[in-house]
C-alpha cells in the first residue's frame, strides 16, 4: 500500500484507495463527506423528519420580514428558535444505536413547543404559523405505539392556550373555537398517521418474516440440493461398484429380469457360461436358456388343477415367499447342455414392491457327473459285496451248527471273530446301499402306527451292555403314556441306535449318557427324542457339515474313533423322510446333544 503526505494539511492520504487516473479528493471534502455519512446514519429516521421540519421552520422566518406580519412578543420567537435548535440537536444525538428508540418522540414534541412559541409570539390564534404544527404532529404520529399520542395531547393543549397568558383578549369573538378545533384535527391527523404506520410496520414485519423464511427455505433448499447431489453421486458410485462387482463374478451366471422374465442384467459370468454377448440377450426372455420339457415338468398348479406359465416354473415358489434353489439345465448359445444349480430370489424397488427376479447359476455339470459315477460305483460295489457276504455268513452259521463235526473252543473263537467282522462289513455295505437309495430318491418307508417308547426302550436295552462294559452311566426317561407316531419302526430304531452308538463311542469311561423322550402338552405337537452325552464334543465350525456323507469330526479322527461317516447322514435322511427334524448342539470337551423332533399322530394320510 502506498501513502503520500498532503501539502496543505500534512496528513497522510492512502493512494491505493484512489482509482487509477484520478487524484485524491481534498482532506476537507473527505471529512465533510464522512460527516454527512455519519449524520445520515439514523436508526429511527427521526433526524430526517426533523430536518424537514427545520427547513420549513427556517424558511418560515422569512415571513417575519413582511411588514404586515404582527410580531407581538419577540422573546417567544427567540425561545422557539432555541427550542428548534435543541430539537434538531436531540434528533442528531438519538441517531446512535445505543439510544432507546422510545426517546425519539421527544424530538417532535420539542418541535411542537418550538412552533407553538413562534405562534404565540406572532399573534396567537391569528398567527400564520399555526399550520406548521401539522409537520411535527405527523412526525409524532410516525412513532410506534399510542404513548406518543398521549404526550402529544398533553403538550398540544397548553401550547394552543399559551397566547392567552400574554393577551387575554386573544380568544374573544369566537376565536376560542380554534383552541378546540385545531388540537382535535391535529390529534386525528396524528392518530391516522400512527394507525397507518402501525399497519405498515406490521406488513413490514410480515414481509421481513417472509424474507427470513424465504432465506431459510433457500438455505434449506441449497442444503437439500447439495445432499441430493451427494446422494445421487453416492448412488451412481454404488451402482457403478455394484456393476463392477457383478461383472467381476466370472464363475457364476448372474441374470436379473423384470417381472415378466425379460433380461435386464447379464454379467460376464453369464456371458462366459452361456457363450453369448450381453447385448444379444438384454430385453429377451430368460426362458431361451431353459429346456421346455424341463419347464413343463415342473410347472406348478395355480388353481383348480390349472398350471401356470413356464416362467412360473422358475419363480412360482419365490412369488409365494419360499426360497427357490434347485438343479436346472441351461442350454448354451452353441447348443450345449449344462447342469446348473440355480438360486432364484425376488428384487424390490425403493418402495419395497417387487420389480423382478435375480437368477444366480453355478455350473455343476462335472460335480453332478462325478457324484453320479460315484453313486453308481458305490451301488455296484455294494451289490457285488452283499451277495458273497451273505453267502459267507450263511456258511459260517452252518459251520457253527454242524453237530456231526463239532468245533473246538479255539475254532469256535475264530469263527466268532470271522462272523463278527463279516456282519460289520455287511452293515457297512447295507449303509452304502441305503445311502445310494436316498440319493436316488428310492427310499421307501414301511409306515405303521408305532409307540416311540418301544423304539427308544429297545435301543436303550441294546446299548446298555456295551455302555456298562465301557464304564458309562446310561439313563433313560420316557412318559408313562404311549407316544404314538406314524413311521417305520425299524428305521426309527436305526435312528436311535445310531445316536446312542455314537454317544457310547465318543464318551470316555466314567461319562454319562441320557436318553429322554418327551411330548408337548397339546396333542397336535411333536415328540422330542434327546440323546445327551459328556463326550469329546464337536467343534462349532464343523457342525454344519456333520450330516454330510463320509464326514467325520476332527475330534473323532484325532482320537482314532472308528467309523466311516455314514451314520449321521443316514440318520438325518430317515428323520427327514418321517417329516421330522434333527438338530445338534455341542461343546468340545463337554459333550453333545442330538435332538430329534417327530410328528405325533397318524401321518399315513
Select from 159, 177, 208 the last residue of a domain: 208
Same domain for 262 and 294, yes or no, is yes
Q: Is residue 339 part of a domain?
A: yes
Domain-embedded: residue 224: no
Residues 67 and 159 in one domain: yes
* Residue 8 confidence (pLDDT): 39
533 neighbors 506 (Cβ within 8 angstroms): yes
CATH number of the structural domain spanning residue 517: 3.30.565.10
Structural domain harbouring 256: 249-363
pLDDT tens-digit readout, 424-460: 677 676 766 676 666 655 666 777 888 899 999 988 8
Residue with the bigger pLDDT between 102 and 290: it is 290
User: Which pLDDT does position 162 carry in this prediction?
Assistant: 77
Q: Both 74 and 199 in a single domain?
A: yes
Q: What is the pLDDT of residues 50-76, one digit of tens each?
A: 888 888 888 888 777 777 667 777 788
Q: What is the mean pLDDT of residues 523-542?
A: 84
- At 10 the pLDDT is 41
Tell which wins on pLDDT, 101 or 361.
361
Q: Which burial class, exposed, middle or buried, applies to 582 when counting CB atoms under 10 A from its CB (0-12, 13-18, 19+)?
A: buried
**pLDDT grade, residue 530 (50/70/90)?**
very high
pLDDT band of residue 43 (cuts 50, 70, 90) is low
**Pair 547, 586 in one domain:** yes
pLDDT digits (tens, 9 = 90+) for 186-222: 778 888 888 888 888 888 889 999 999 999 999 999 9
DSSP assignments along 117-186, one per residue = HHHHTTTGGG-TTGGGGHHHHHHHHHSSSSHHHHHHHHHHHHHHHGGGGT-GGGGTTTTHHHHHHHHHHH
Residue 332 CA to residue 91 CA, distance in Å, equals: 96
Verify that 315 and 375 share a domain, yes or no: no
pLDDT of residue 9: 40
Same domain, residue pair 272 and 416: no
Domain assignment present for 32: no
Q: What is the model's pLDDT at position 23?
A: 56
Lowest mean pLDDT among 150-154, 388-392, 560-564, 570-574: 560-564
Regarding whether 328 and 204 lie in a shared domain, the answer is no
Query: 453 with 565, same domain?
Result: yes
Length of the chain: 605
The better pLDDT of the pair 521, 14 is held by: 521
Residues 485, 516: one domain? yes
pLDDT value at residue 14: 47
Least confident of 158-162, 188-192, 330-334, 392-396: 392-396
Residue in this structure with the C-alpha cell 476332527, named with its chain if needed? 554
pLDDT value at position 242?
Answer: 74
Instruction: Provide CB contacts within 8 A for 10, sequence distance 6+.
Output: none
Query: For 126-140, how does the pLDDT look when each residue is reduced to its tens digit (9 = 90+)?
Result: 677 778 888 888 888
pTM reported for the whole predicted model: 0.41
pLDDT (0 to 100) of residue 541: 82
The structural domain count of the chain equals: 4
Amino acid at each position: 500500500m502506498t501513502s503520500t503526505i498532503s501539502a496543505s494539511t500534512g496528513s497522510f492520504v492512502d493512494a491505493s484507495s484512489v482509482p487509477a487516473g484520478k487524484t485524491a479528493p481534498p482532506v476537507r471534502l473527505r471529512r465533510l463527506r464522512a460527516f454527512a455519512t455519519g449524520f445520515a446514519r439514523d436508526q429511527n429516521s427521526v433526524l430526517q423528519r426533523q430536518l424537514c421540519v427545520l427547513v420549513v421552520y427556517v424558511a418560515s422566518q422569512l415571513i417575519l420580514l413582511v411588514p404586515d406580519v404582527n410580531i407581538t412578543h419577540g422573546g417567544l420567537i427567540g425561545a422557539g428558535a432555541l427550542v428548534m435548535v435543541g430539537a434538531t440537536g436531540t434528533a442528531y444525538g438519538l441517531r446512535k444505536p445505543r439510544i432507546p428508540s422510545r426517546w425519539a418522540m421527544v424530538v417532535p414534541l420539542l418541535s411542537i413547543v418550538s412552533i407553538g412559541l413562534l405562534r404565540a409570539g406572532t399573534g396567537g390564534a391569528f398567527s400564520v404559523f399555526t399550520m406548521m404544527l401539522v409537520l411535527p404532529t405527523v412526525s409524532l404520529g410516525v412513532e410506534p405505539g399510542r404513548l406518543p399520542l398521549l404526550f402529544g395531547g398533553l403538550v398540544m393543549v397548553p401550547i394552543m392556550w399559551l397566547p392567552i397568558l400574554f393577551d387575554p383578549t386573544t380568544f374573544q369573538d369566537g376565536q376560542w373555537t380554534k383552541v378546540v378545533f385545531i388540537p382535535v384535527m391535529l390529534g386525528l391527523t396524528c392518530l391516522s398517521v400512527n394507525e397507518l404506520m402501525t399497519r405498515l410496520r406490521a406488513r413490514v414485519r410480515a414481509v421481513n418474516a417472509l424474507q427470513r423464511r424465504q432465506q431459510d427455505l433457500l438455505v434449506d433448499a441449497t442444503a437439500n440440493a447439495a445432499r441430493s447431489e451427494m446422494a445421487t453421486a453416492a448412488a451412481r458410485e454404488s451402482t457403478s461398484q455394484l456393476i463392477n462387482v457383478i461383472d467381476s463374478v466370472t464363475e457364476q451366471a448372474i441374470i436379473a429380469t423384470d417381472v415378466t422374465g425379460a433380461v435386464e442384467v447379464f454379467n460376464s459370468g453369464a456371458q462366459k457360461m452361456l457363450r453369448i454377448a450381453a447385448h444379444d440377450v438384454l430385453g429377451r426372455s430368460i426362458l431361451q436358456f431353459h429346456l421346455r420339457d424341463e419347464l413343463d415338468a415342473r410347472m406348478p398348479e395355480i388353481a383348480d388343477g390349472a398350471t401356470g406359465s413356464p416362467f412360473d416354473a422358475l419363480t412360482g415358489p419365490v412369488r409365494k415367499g419360499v426360497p427357490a434353489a434347485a438343479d436346472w439345465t441351461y442350454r448354451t448359445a452353441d447348443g450345449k447342455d449344462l447342469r446348473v444349480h440355480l438360486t432364484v430370489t425376488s428384487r424390490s424397488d425403493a418402495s419395497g414392491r417387487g420389480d423382478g427376479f435375480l437368477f444366480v447359476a453355478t455350473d455343476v455339470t462335472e460335480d453332478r457327473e462325478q457324484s453320479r459315477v460315484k453313486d453308481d460305483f458305490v451301488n455296484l460295489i455294494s451289490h457285488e459285496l452283499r451277495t458273497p457276504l451273505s453267502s459267507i455268513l450263511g456258511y459260517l452259521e452252518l459251520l457253527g451248527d454242524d453237530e456231526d463235526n463239532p468245533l473246538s473252543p479255539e475254532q469256535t473263537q475264530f469263527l466268532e471273530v470271522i462272523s463278527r467282522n463279516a456282519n460289520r462289513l455287511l452293515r457297512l455295505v447295507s449303509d452304502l446301499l441305503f445311502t445310494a437309495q436316498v440319493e436316488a430318491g428310492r427310499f421307501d418307508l414301511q409306515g405303521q402306527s408305532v409307540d416311540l417308547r418301544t423304539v427308544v426302550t429297545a435301543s436303550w436295552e441294546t446299548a446298555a451292555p456295551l455302555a456298562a462294559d465301557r464304564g458309562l452311566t446310561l439313563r433313560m426317561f420316557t412318559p408313562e403314556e404311549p407316544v404314538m407316531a406314524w413311521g417305520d419302526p425299524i428305521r426309527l430304531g436305526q435312528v436311535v441306535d445310531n445316536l446312542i452308538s455314537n454317544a457310547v463311542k465318543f464318551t470316555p469311561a466314567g461319562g454319562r449318557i441320557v436318553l429322554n423322550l418327551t411330548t408337548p402338552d397339546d396333542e397336535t405337537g411333536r415328540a422330542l427324542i434327546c440323546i445327551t452325552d459328556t463326550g469329546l464334543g464337536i467343534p462349532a465350525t464343523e457342525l454344519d457339515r456333520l450330516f454330510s456323507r463320509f464326514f467325520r469330526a476332527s475330534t473323532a479322527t484325532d482320537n482314532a474313533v472308528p467309523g466311516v461317516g455314514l451314520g449321521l447322514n443316514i440318520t438325518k435322511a430317515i428323520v427327514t423322510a418321517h417329516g421330522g427334524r434333527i438338530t445338534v448342539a455341542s461343546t468340545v470337551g463337554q459333550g453333545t446333544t442330538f435332538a430329534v423332533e417327530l410328528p405325533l399322530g397318524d401321518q399315513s394320510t
